[in-house]
Amino acid sequence: MLYAVSASVLWGLFPLYFKLLREIPSFDIVVHRLFWSFVFLAGVLLWRRQWAWLGQALRRPLVVLSFLLSALLLSGNWTLYVWAVNDGRIVDTSLGYFMSPLMSVFMGYLILKERMRPLQWLAVSMALGAVLWLTVANGSLPWISLVIATTFALYGLLRKIAHLGALEGLSMETLLMLPLVLLVLGVDSWRGSNSFTGAPAGVQVLLALAGPITAVPLLLFAQGARRIPLSMLGLMQYISPTIQLLTGVLLYDEPFTGNRAIGFCVIWLALAVYSAEGLWRFWRARAESTAGST
């Protein structure tokens, strides 16, 4: 459990890291995040001598296409997230990640034709009601939250149907993005606007740390996923957006009152319904399995 909790806490603390880089354009931060993540992950794979899968994956066009799409979704999600954090919208990003599990269920219904159970329909309907409430009450669509939730849900959907582990999958994504990343870095250097070479030493170190900062929580989570029940793992996904919400409200004084608080409460209630239904089904199946084996 410690592995999964540590990963969730580290993800929740990401806004603190990106705030330290607020003078760097969001797109540049993501470019460096992709580059240094590739460097770090390549080092891990070489150290573990875990590269036999790569040749097999690259020889399968559908696998390459799937991971190229997931890499683009992940890059877009990262770019919006970093921009929102440094624009004082941490609370909006936390709402997006709270909504993501419900969006994933709905995407599974729309795209994979997975059957939604009655309580899942109730939870998704409540989330939709919360979005409508926030739109009408605040006079604008919570687009940051919706885009983050949608891109992350689609990313999860693609990763679900692509059979590579967490380490191999992220390595594949950063590898496929590497040509574009190198092109952007090369053009920036040619134009004299490279954010890395023109930055103070402290900022250069922070940018280079984007690799391990991105990869280490993922590796911890992958280790934790092998050791704890899926039901417990599902509940832990709420740790990260909770920490982000507290960070935005308590450390950076982002507003969290009135209409926004009501919208969040409805989302939390929807998540409670969704989680309770999932836990009930898990424990019932476990009890039936135990009874059947005796």
Distance (Å, whole) CA 5 – CA 225: 11
Give the pLDDT score at 226.
64
Q: What pLDDT is stored for residue 1 in this prediction?
A: 66
Mean pLDDT, rounded, for 141-163: 88
Higher pLDDT, 183 or 157: 183
Query: What pLDDT, on the 0 to 100 scale, is given for residue 234?
Result: 65
C-alpha–C-alpha distance, residues 230 and 285, integer Å: 13
41 pLDDT above the threshold of 80:
yes
130, with CB counted inside 10 A (0-12, 13-18, 19+), is buried
Query: Which is more confidently placed, 271 or 235?
Result: 271
- For residue 170, pLDDT over 80 is answered with yes
Q: Is the pLDDT of residue 181 over 80?
A: yes
Residue 294 has pLDDT above 60, yes or no: no
Would you state the pLDDT for residue 75?
Answer: 94
Model confidence pLDDT, tens digit, residues 85-144:
999 999 999 999 999 888 888 888 888 888 888 888 998 899 989 889 988 888 888 999
pLDDT at 12: 92
Model confidence at 146, in pLDDT bands (50, 70, 90)? very high
pLDDT at 151: 92
**Residues ≥6 apart with Cβ < 8 Å to 68:** 176
- What pLDDT, on a 0 to 100 scale, did the predictor assign at position 269? 94
What is the DSSP secondary-structure string of 78-115?
Answer: HHHHHHHHHTT-HHHHHHHHHHHHHHHHHHHHHHS-PP
Report the distance separating Cα 73 and Cα 219, nearest Å: 20
Tell me if the pTM is above 0.75. Answer: yes
Mean pLDDT of 207-230: 79
Query: Would you list the domain boundaries of the chain?
Result: 2-292
